Structure 1
Amino acid sequence: MLDSGLLEGKFSAHPLCITPRLTHLAFADDLLVFSDGSQHSLLGISGILQTFHSFSGLDMNPSKSELFFGGYGDSEAAVIADLIGIRIGVFPSRYLGLPLNPTKLSLATLQPFIQKITKQLNSWTTKFLSYAGKIRLIVSVVYGKVNFWSQVFVLPKGFYKKIDNLCSAFLWKNTTSSARGARVAWKDICKTKEEGGLGIRSLEEFATVFRLKQVWHLFTRRGSLWVMWLDHNIFGRRNYWLMDSTPRLSWNIRKMLEVKSVFQRLIKCQMRDGMKASFWFDYWTSLGPLIELFGQLGPRELRISRNASVWEATHEGQWHFPNARSHQAEQLQICLSSVAPPSPLRGADWYQWKQPTGTFSETFSSKGTWMQIRQISPHVAWHKAVWFKESVPRFSFIHWMASHERLTTRDRLLQWGMNVHGSCVLCDSGLDSHDHLFFKCEFSRSLWISLAGRSSPNPPLSLPLASMWVLGVHSSPPHYASKILKLLLQTAVYMIWKERNRRVFSADATSLSATKILVDRTMRNRLISFSPEESVTTISLLGFYFGCISTPL
């Protein structure tokens, strides 16, 4: 009815909604109607809605409706609003639970969202959660909500920093007030597990992924209303590659243009009819984007405009170039000698996205894109000893902290200027430090040797060496010994740290023999949770462990 009303002249279209013709957007019982905002148009729209009410029974609720004007003075807008009987709305306005705003979202606008996340984190501080449990909640709940917003809006960097501070404070301090004194910096936590982090994806880096995905949709979803609108109203005269970021463009469009250099090295065009592929900027030959090969003077040398499509480089179905006057031009002509010229018979051009393996696919992978654009750090040698399928999450976390030497041992407290007794509470000799606890201490050394001695009479007596050692043990069935030893190592590390804390904070002590029994029981409970291999001839991990108790691995 609204489309018909526009064609019949009952109201006039918004200047930016003429092509493609856009009169309204509807979702469930929410309706957005666009017009030029004149009195004639608003009265015409009201009449159409009244006609709709007469045969459907559905009516507009003026108290729940709002008018938004652009380019009108306050007094003029007020007169029109009074005439229609609908109040004037103020940005930001909420639609489908999200704030609509014609300008960049500020930190003040996002304050209700920040307060909602803070309230969620505070509700978890009353529960007894392990570090591993907190990480799971942060990733699945908090980061899930933020990433949903990041897909829709360009959020300020200050917002991401605030969320990271809240999550860091919750993880290390079980509060949301301050992350001061965090044991591991959040930027290090956001590294991959192979690089010594916890595998949490940086919010700011992933925001770039969402901008790249928007540009990918601009190139591949030609039937989308959003893409059609952008093609006509934003990139009508100058395509994405040639468009410069200017203040007249919206904040979201400017952010899409900012990722142009990253986008160019990740997208590849499969040229067919050559109508859509950019001659200079798309990666459509084995030489890559030709503008990078020829430089900014390339269009003058080949007499092909910067805005040209590949089809414009042909004449009567054949490639058409001036005589080669440079090495780059010779390279291009040699390359194109094996490339069929564009033809409508071959269908439309289509695009592919680069995967972490270096291959190209028609599917955009958010995770794969993040892996290619993120800041890469060196791998740590011990990550496979900490993170593996059979591990216990809370054991892995303590092992991870011990590998980083970030447990609150007494030597660290002394370095911070705290007045504490520095000796080890397990053996009462030696400084309470990571190096001493794992495994120079008489208590921890005896425990570790009694457990790992089944595999070797002289197991390594330092955590870094022990982590590397458990990765190199082989057996039949394949890798069973390594799996058992990895689990045994992190169980021992966890139990040693737990016993150390028990003696520090409760003055209670568990004997070495009792600790050995506890480790053995923990191992059995964990291994019994795994089902045997599919082959009936293969023993289970638990069965293999039983066989190792009395015999070498």
Structure 2
Amino acid sequence: MNQASLMRHIWKTSSNAESCWVGFVSSRWLRHHSIWSLPRPSTCSATWKAILDTQPVALRCSWVLLHDGHKTLLWHDPWLDGGLLSQLGLLLAPAVGRDFFAPVCSILQRLPCPATDPAMFSRWPEICASRTFTRLQEDTMVWTTTPSDRFSIQSAWNAIHSSQLEVPWHQLIWAASNHPRFSFIAWLATREALTLRTRAANWGITTERASYLCNQGDETFDHLFFRCSYTRAIWQALLKLCSYNCAPLDSWQGELGWVSAHFIGITLVDRIKKFCFCATIYRIWAEHNSCAFQNVAHHFTAVVSFVVEDTRGKFFIHDQATPDTPSSRAFLERWCISSSFTLATGTPHAWLVSH
């Protein structure tokens, strides 16, 4: 959200909004440049640097409606549908007698021959097809991601995050019923951002690489989740409580993908499964830190009990009814969680009388 808010300043400057701040920036930094051509100054405030960092995303959402091209830079401003003129054009511009800060009107008044102007050769059809809007009083900047053509924080936020695909474990880790602390540690584990012993050894902090929990192999993410005999026993016991009589996979990313594909849905049973997984990651990491920093270890059954108690405590009081099926009743009985049940909706049938 901070980046989206900072992007508002890019929009105000590019659209020449009437404000003291825009006036100051224009007189201080934009005597020749536009906001799109301005490089990051070597000496400026951290805030101004952060504002300029939002240029690439803001550029994708901005477009200039040309009136006469006097206030739009030829090479730097987004006046073509396909984006800015190429960097090759900037390199060739001085060789063909064109100014680095030339306005668009310099070519609109008299279109050069593409054969004699290689700086624009690749974009020539697009340049010839560009429109001018005579009803406008001057060149006008529009924000292309909103119906009103005006900047909004929401559209800026969407533009920042549009290129980031949703990961398959999103609903698993960030389910609304999960404990925030559990979700955070599980999220760090999915990104393999927890500091394991092998990572500390690679940093030169220690020479030991063996797992704190079993002392039988290098402490990697694949080992900790759930190749280690200690954590494997914990997760396998909890999988049985979740109605899965199977062993964990040897790969952490493989197991994460399997859980993401099976622990889906919004029923009470599905919410308990998601909570159980995040609580398991959290409790295993807590046990890891207990061994590392306090030299205190618990039997794996104690960690299983911690996860079960966390889950029961979370869902001891809830108001979500559960579909009345034998599997749902058996699941909740294993977890000792009470719930109201709803009968499955009947499907209508019609009988055909044979003649």
TM-score, normalised relative to structure 2: 0.60
**Aligned residue for 1:340?**
131
2:64 corresponds, among 266, 270, 275, to 270
Question: Is the CA contact 2:66–2:79 (under 8 Å) kept in the aligned structure 1?
Answer: no
| SS in structure 2 at match of 1:467 | helix
**1:430-473, Cα deviation, whole Å (9 max, x unpaired):** 46956666445665444422321243221315444432221111
The equivalent residue for 2:176 is: 389
Contact 2:236 2:247 in 1 (8 A): yes
Q: Partner letter of residue 177 of structure 2?
A: E
Match of 2:15 in 1: 220
Check 1:529–1:222 CA distance in 2 against 1; reply closer, same or farther (3 A cut): farther
1:472 corresponds to: 261
Please give the alpha-carbon distance, in whole angstroms, between the structure 2 residues aligned to 1:294 and 1:423: 57
Distance in 1 (alpha carbons) for counterparts of 2:37 and 2:232: 66
Confirm or deny: 8 A CA contact 2:64 2:77 kept in the other structure: no
**Partner residue, 1:525:** 313
Q: Distance in 2 between matches of 1:241 and 1:436?
A: 50
Q: After superposition, where does 1:439-518 map in structure 2 within 5 Å?
A: 439=226, 444-453=231-240, 454-462=242-250, 463-473=252-262, 483-498=271-286, 505=294, 509=298, 512=301, 516-518=304-306
Instruction: Call closer, same or farther: CA 1:391–1:273 in 2, change over 3 Å.
Output: same
Q: Counterparts of 2:105 and 2:161 in 1: how far apart (Å)?
A: 34
d(CA) in 2 for partners of 1:451, 1:242:
55
Once the two structures are superposed, the pairs formed by residues 141-540 of structure 1 within 5 Å of their partners are 210=6, 214-231=9-26, 235-236=30-31, 238-240=32-34, 251=44, 262=56, 265-266=59-60, 268-274=62-68, 275-290=70-85, 292=87, 294-298=89-93, 307-311=101-105, 313-314=107-108, 320-326=110-116, 334-343=125-134, 345-352=135-142, 362-363=150-151, 367=157, 385-400=172-187, 404=192, 406=194, 430=216, 433=219, 438-439=225-226, 444-453=231-240, 454-462=242-250, 463-473=252-262, 483-498=271-286, 505=294, 509=298, 512=301, 516-527=304-315, 532=320, 539=322
Q: For residues 456 and 519 of structure 1, what CA distance do their matches in structure 2 show?
A: 17
2:75/2:90 contact within 8 Å kept: no
Residue 48 of structure 1: aligned partner: none
Q: 1:408 to 1:312 in 2, by over 3 A?
A: closer
Could you tell me how far apart the structure 1 residues matched to 2:278 and 2:157 are? 29
Summarize the Cα distance change of 1:347–1:526 in structure 2 as closer, same or farther, 3 Å threshold. Answer: farther
1:522 match: secondary structure: helix
Aligned residue for 1:466, secondary structure, equals helix
- Consecutive unaligned residues of structure 1, counting only runs of 5 or more, are 1-143, 148-205, 533-537
8 Å CA contact 1:439, 1:461 repeated in 2: yes
- Partner Cα distance (2:57, 2:198) in 1: 49
Identify which range, 497-506 or 454-463, moves more after superposition: 497-506
Cα 1:232–1:482, aligned 2, differ >3 Å: closer, same or farther? same
CA contact (8 A) 1:268 1:353 kept: yes
d(CA) in 2 for partners of 1:278, 1:268? 14
CA shift for structure 1 position 270? 2.8
Q: Which amino acid aligns with 1:396?
A: S
Q: CA–CA distance in 1 between the matches of 2:77 and 2:290?
A: 63
Distance 1:399 1:277, change over 3 A: same
Query: AA paired with 2:258?
Result: W
| 8 A Cα contact 1:240 1:257, kept in partner | no
> How many percent identity over aligned positions?
19
Amino acid at match of 1:526: K
Q: Which amino acid aligns with 1:394?
A: R
Partner amino acid for 2:80?
T
Residues 382 and 433 from structure 1, CA distance in 2 versus in 1: closer, same or farther, beyond 3 angstroms?
Answer: farther
Provide, for residues 320-358 of structure 1, a one-character-per-residue CA deviation record: whole Å limited to 9, x for no partner.
Answer: 324443486666563355443341x23443324587xxx
**Structure 1 CA distance, aligned partners of 2:5 and 2:63?**
20
Does the 8 Å CA contact 2:287/2:298 hold for their aligned counterparts? yes
Amino acid in structure 2 at the alignment position of 1:459? A
CA contact (8 A) 1:352 1:361 kept: yes
- Is the 8 Å Cα contact of residues 277 and 309 (structure 1) preserved in structure 2? yes
Shift of 1:272: 3.9
Change (3 A) 1:246 1:494: closer
Q: How many residues are aligned here?
A: 319
Shift of 1:361: 6.2
Give the direction of change, closer, same or farther, for the CA distance of 1:464–1:482 in structure 2 (3 Å limit).
Answer: farther
| Whole-angstrom CA distance in 1 between matches of 2:303 and 2:216 | 21
Tell me, yes or no, if the aligned pair for 1:311 and 1:342 is still in contact at 8 Å.
no
Task: Tell me, in whole angstroms, the C-alpha distance in 2 between the residues paired with 1:393 and 1:348.
Answer: 52
Residue 382 to residue 309, structure 1, CA distance change in 2 (3 Å): same
Q: Structure 1 residues 259, 518: CA separation in 2 closer, same or farther (over 3 Å shift)?
A: closer
> Which secondary structure does the structure 1 equivalent of 2:238 belong to?
helix
The letter of the residue matching 1:270 is V
Given residue 236 of structure 2, which amino acid in structure 1 is its aligned partner?
I
Bigger shift: 226-235 or 251-260? 251-260
Q: Quick check: 1:267–1:351 contact (8 Å CA) kept in 2?
A: no
TM-score, normalised on structure 1? 0.43
Instruction: Give the conservation status (yes or no) of the 8 Å contact 2:231–2:300.
Output: no
Distance 1:460 1:332, change over 3 A: closer
Question: Which one has a bigger Cα radius of gyration?
Answer: 1
Q: Tell me, which stretches of 5 or more residues in structure 2 are unaligned?
A: 335-355
Amino acid at match of 2:178: S
User: Closer, same or farther in 2 for the Cα pair 1:220/1:368, shift >3 Å?
Assistant: same
